[in-house]
């Protein structure tokens, strides 16, 4: 909506520029025309509204995967893995 406002200002400035005979007024209207048209072209689109709070689900109480601890480095690894990805030792 803001882009259309600046576009409207530039159209009004162009009409006033054509109808006036004063050099100073024409200069000010030309500056206003260029500035408002530039802002109307460059102004970014607004962000969409955030999603409603009902879309977020609750976090699960339990972990999705079973984990075990590496006996060498002590970091948690997947239970199905036979080698630790951190220390490259057999789990």
Q: How far apart are CA 34 and CA 43, in angstroms?
A: 14
Domain ranges of the chain: 2-42
13-72 pLDDT, tens digit per residue, is: 999 999 999 999 999 999 999 999 888 888 887 778 887 777 776 766 666 677 888 888
Which of these, 51, 14, 43, 45, lies nearest to 31 by C-alpha position? 14
43-59 pLDDT, tens digit per residue, is: 887 778 887 777 776 76
Q: How far apart are CA 12 and CA 60, in angstroms?
A: 59
Give pLDDT, residue 26.
Answer: 92
Give pLDDT, residue 43.
Answer: 82
Which of these, 88, 89, 66, lies nearest to 76 by C-alpha position? 66
Give pLDDT, residue 61.
Answer: 67
Give pLDDT, residue 63.
Answer: 62
Question: Would you list the DSSP string of 33-83?
Answer: HHHHHHHHHHPPPPPPPPPPGGGPPPPPSS-SS-EEE-TTT--EEETT-SB
């Amino acid at each position: 909506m803001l882009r259309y406002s600046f576009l409207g200002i530039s159209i009004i400035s162009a009409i006033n520029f054509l109808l006036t005979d004063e050099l100073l007024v024409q200069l000010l209207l030309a500056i206003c025309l260029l500035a408002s048209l530039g802002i109307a072209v460059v102004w970014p689109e607004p962000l969409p509204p955030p999603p409603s709070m009902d879309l977020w689900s609750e976090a699960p109480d339990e972990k999705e995967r079973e984990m075990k601890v590496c006996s060498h480095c002590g970091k948690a690894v997947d239970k199905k893995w036979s080698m630790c990805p951190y220390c490259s030792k057999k789990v």
